[in-house]
Amino acid sequence: MTKRIEYRTCPLCEATCGLELHLDDDELTLVRGDKEDVFSAGYLCPKGTALKQLDADPNRIRTPQIRRGDTWYDATWDEAFAEIEARLPPIMERDGRDAVGVYMGNPGAHNLANLVYNRVLNQSLGTKNLFSASTVDQMPKQVSSGLMFGAALTVPVADIDRMDYLVIMGANPYASNGSLMTAPDFPGRLERLQARGGTVVVIDPRRSQSAEKADEHLFIRPGTDAHFLFGVVNVLLAEGLVSLGNCEGLVDGLEEIERLAPSFPPEVVAPVCGIDADTIRSMARKLASTDRAGIYGRIGTCTQEFGTVASWLVDVVNILAGNLDREGGMMFTLPATASASIGGGGDGKGRGVRFGRRHSRVKQLPEFFGEYPVATLADEIETPGAGQIKALVTVAGNPVLSTPDSDRLDAAFASLEFMVSIDIYRNETTKHADVILPAPRVLTKGHYDLALYALAVRNVANYSPPIIELRGDEQPEWETMLRLAAIVAGQGSSPEAAAALDDFALVSVVQKAVTRSGSPIEGRDAGELVDELSKNGRRGPERVVDFMLRTGAYGDQFGAPGYEGGLSLAVLEANPHGVDLGALKPRLPEVLKTPSGKIEIAPEAIVADVESRLIPSLDRRANGELVLVGRRDLRSNNSWMHNIEILVKGKPRCTLQIHPDDAIRAGIADGDLARVRSRVGMVELAAEVTDGIMSGVVSIPHGWGHDMKGVDMEVAERYSGVNSNILTDGELMDPLSGNSVLNGIPVTVEALVSAHA
Ligand code: SF4
């Protein structure tokens, strides 16, 4: 056996930690944190360690699967693609391209093949029925960022390593390690902030681990973050604390904020959100008076009734308090793959964003960034008529567990004529597929975090090459995606057809770049550049990433004068612990892409929502009704890591957290079996009585419920838990983003069986 050590970036969550992998030949024997990684410096969480068990999981699908009735058969790649070619195009020919729906799951955000080729697959399908996990997650932040700054992922992140006062709303970075903010060892960064005399405040309906470690924790009623934040805005304006700092002269629409804010004095919002008026005032003063401060809001601020307004207000407060685009405040990353013309000092003008260019067939819901709200996917499958979804393609997703009204979606999937899934498990969703195309083992893939480095708290770049060979029965994921794309584009399913699509995609990107005015490669010969990228037989996503790096903000611009020593994939290959490109720097106005070239602080659609829904909700009070919120655990990652015994064993994690006062009212003791009902469903699970949750709120973690027939995940079935999305209501969504309301669902709770009888 040949022992060796390799380094690569962990692909399992948004934190991008560097791993030190010990191998005996191709067998992964040990996973450690890479102490020399320029970003994570040795940090590792339990999920990272479990990469070894994930790699060896006996339930992982290794070869393509074809289903006949309830029986699954191993197939060759050619047989699987022949099955798809025989069944999918005829549906498209008969019923049109919209007869095929697509669902893209969350793991695709850390998967190079998905990031580069999802668009190619979607364009080849030509369907308008695109759905993803974004509308049960971060879509409100994308919408508010798009409207304010001009692009979906122009999201400010906390300059946490230089910050002195950080307010965290609706996030639990001790469990998540950060989201829409790439910060490996987020807990360590928070502790260093506190050690240098800084303060961390957590606002959450639960006393999460992050809240326990914070200097201050404030309970807030679910769904009232926007009310609280507008209270802060009111104080900033009323007390003359507004100072725009680096945003001075770059903010359009401030008078609209001044017009709306008087509706939200602290005394009015306090009884709505549950945080007293003095605390709201002192927080506003502290945010305005601390040089290095900011508010970071995440999942709890998004997956609620006022998701877009709350996401917008996080940035409004940061702007008014002078904390946007300032060292130690909330800043914009300049990733290595941002084009050189972006990093080079533009005027901030762009096309901005537009939504609602088309509407879903059944409920007439608008599209957001090209996709419809996933809460309407079941409607589009169930409802007969032109454009009805008859076939589905899923990529790394499990919507039956992760999207609202699960029982209904499960039944809708069972009614499809044909379904193909790219996945590593036969799970609650892919059990409905007719063909499952497996992704190969993680270590056979190249990895570069195209999306996550764009939200990093330092400018960094790190590429991980494949470190083991594909086995004879494995196929690169990008080739799988392109063979599928070639079938629906009418070009057959051969590897040659996939290669032609790959060439076409690259050539299109290069040709566009050489004609872009002001680009350092303007006027270069596209063919020559493609040849250079393809040296040594390189194909697939690495060629695209190499092109993006070389033409990016730190790139070598293919040898253009003045760019010597710039980045390329070769430079990253020579630096296995990554390349540190420095601390974040102010980027206004060039980071903007709005038509005005300014920050649009009061987008019309958001102002209208404030007037039509938020202001009228100011008379709401807690009324004794229980509401449901979710939660996250460090050892869990949505639904897909529950088949790894070392992550799920031990104390059950899928419990109903309930406050002692509410438990007494319901006659429930710790450990009792409780029944939870919402308008759409009912689940039964063990109660965990704790004062770590505010009275009037109960919590169930999402991603569980692995006891459905037809699933082949032995460990997950043993630790099944219950599916919280049986309770979430597909009718409830944030109208500005189409995002489902997953927090603040009205429920009733009753005792079933006492553990103490
Ligand atoms: S925090 Fe995320 S990236 Fe880091 S080791 Fe854990 S799973 Fe991997």
- Which residue has the least CA distance to atom 2 on ligand 1? 13
- Going from the C-alpha of 679 to that of each of 223, 682, 685, 726, the distances in angstroms are 18, 9, 18, 10
Residue 45 CA: nearest ligand 1 atom is 6
Please give the Cα distance from 263 to 728 (Å, whole number).
Answer: 31
Pairing outcome for strands 682-689 and 599-600 = unpaired
The average pLDDT across 705-713 equals: 94
Q: Which residues contact 259 (CB under 8 A, 6 or more apart)?
A: none
Please give the Cα distance from 439 to 474 (Å, whole number).
Answer: 8
Helix H or strand E segment including 436: strand 435-437
Give the pair of three-digit tokens for residue 240. 């003359």
Cα angle value 665/669/670 (rounded, 5°): 130
Please give the Cα distance from 482 to 76 (Å, whole number).
Answer: 17
Provide the CATH number for the domain formed by 65-137+353-437 in this structure. Answer: 3.40.50.740
pLDDT value of residue 754: 65
Q: Classify residue 252 as exposed, middle or buried by CB count within 10 Å of its CB (0-12, 13-18, 19+).
A: middle
Residue that has been written with the tokens 């969480």 in this structure: 45
Pairing outcome for strands 697-699 and 656-658 = antiparallel
Helix H or strand E segment including 395: strand 391-395
Q: Which of 7, 8, 9, 12 to mutate to test the pocket of ligand 1 (most atoms within 8 A of CB)?
A: 12
Q: Do domains 139-337+587-614 and 623-753 have the same CATH topology?
A: no
Q: Ligand 1 centre and the CA of 476: distance in Å?
A: 23
- Which residue has the least CA distance to atom 5 on ligand 1? 48
**For the chain, domain boundaries:** 1-56, 65-137+353-437, 139-337+587-614, 623-753
The average pLDDT across 562-575 equals: 97
Residue 19 CA: nearest ligand 1 atom is 5
pLDDT value of residue 755: 60
User: Is the Cβ–Cβ distance between 17 and 33 less than 8 Å?
Assistant: yes
Please give the Cα distance from 633 to 637 (Å, whole number).
Answer: 8
What DSSP designation does 348 have?
Answer: S
pLDDT digits (tens, 9 = 90+) for 221-258: 999 999 999 999 999 999 999 999 999 999 999 999 99
pLDDT value of residue 343: 47
DSSP output for 278-314: HHHHHHHHHHHH-SSEEEEE-HHHHSSTTHHHHHHHH
In the sheet that holds 71-74, the strands lie side by side as 71-74, 65-68, 435-437, 418-422, 391-395, 100-104, 130-132
User: Is the Cβ–Cβ distance between 263 and 309 less than 8 Å?
Assistant: no
Residue 15 CA: nearest ligand 1 atom is 3
- Helix-helix angle 495-514:526-533, to 10 degrees: 130
Please give the Cα distance from 81 to 85 (Å, whole number).
Answer: 6
Q: Classify residue 262 as exposed, middle or buried by CB count within 10 Å of its CB (0-12, 13-18, 19+).
A: exposed
What DSSP designation does 366 have?
Answer: B
Q: Ligand 1 centre and the CA of 133: distance in Å?
A: 20
For the chain, the C-alpha Rg in angstroms (whole number) is: 25
- Which residue has the least CA distance to atom 4 on ligand 1? 17
- Which residue has the least CA distance to atom 8 on ligand 1? 48
By percentage, how much of the chain surpasses pLDDT 70?
99
Instruction: Check pLDDT > 50 for residue 88.
Output: yes
- Give buried/exposed letters for 713-723 (b at 16+ CB in 10 A, else e): bebbeebbbbb
Please give the Cα distance from 390 to 369 (Å, whole number).
Answer: 23
Instruction: Check pLDDT > 60 for residue 302.
Output: yes
Instruction: Check pLDDT > 50 for residue 387.
Output: yes
- Which residue has the least CA distance to atom 6 on ligand 1? 45
Note the pTM of the prediction, 2 decimals. 0.96
Please give the Cα distance from 185 to 188 (Å, whole number).
Answer: 5
Q: Ligand 1 centre and the CA of 74: distance in Å?
A: 32
Q: Which of 17, 20, 43, 55 to mutate to test the pocket of ligand 1 (most atoms within 8 A of CB)?
A: 17
Q: Which residues contact 492 (CB under 8 A, 6 or more apart)?
A: 85, 486
pLDDT digits (tens, 9 = 90+) for 522-532: 999 999 999 99
Give the pair of three-digit tokens for residue 151. 């692009």
pLDDT digits (tens, 9 = 90+) for 93-121: 999 999 999 999 988 888 999 999 999 99
Fold of 623-753: Barwin-like endoglucanases (2.40.40)
Q: Classify residue 347 as exposed, middle or buried by CB count within 10 Å of its CB (0-12, 13-18, 19+).
A: exposed
The average pLDDT across 84-89 equals: 98
pLDDT value of residue 37: 98
Residue 16 CA: nearest ligand 1 atom is 3
pLDDT value of residue 346: 75
Give the pair of three-digit tokens for residue 43. 């940090």
pLDDT value of residue 623: 78
Pairing outcome for strands 626-629 and 697-699 = parallel
Which residue ranges have their beta carbon within 6 Å of ligand 1? Answer: 10, 12-13, 15-17, 44-45, 47-48, 177, 184
End-to-end CA distance of the chain: give it in Å, rounded. 57
Provide the CATH number for the domain formed by 1-56 in this structure. Answer: 3.30.200.210
Q: Classify residue 42 as exposed, middle or buried by CB count within 10 Å of its CB (0-12, 13-18, 19+).
A: middle
Provide the CATH number for the domain formed by 139-337+587-614 in this structure. Answer: 3.40.228.10
DSSP output for 490-535: TS-S-HHHHHHHHHHHHHHHHHHHHTSTT-TTTT--HHHHHHHHTG
pLDDT digits (tens, 9 = 90+) for 431-455: 999 999 999 999 999 999 999 999 9
Please give the Cα distance from 584 to 325 (Å, whole number).
Answer: 9
Instruction: Check pLDDT > 80 for residue 757.
Output: no
Fill in the amino acid letter for 36. Answer: E
Please give the Cα distance from 472 to 531 (Å, whole number).
Answer: 28
pLDDT value of residue 199: 98
pLDDT value of residue 638: 80
Q: Ligand 1 centre and the CA of 50: distance in Å?
A: 10
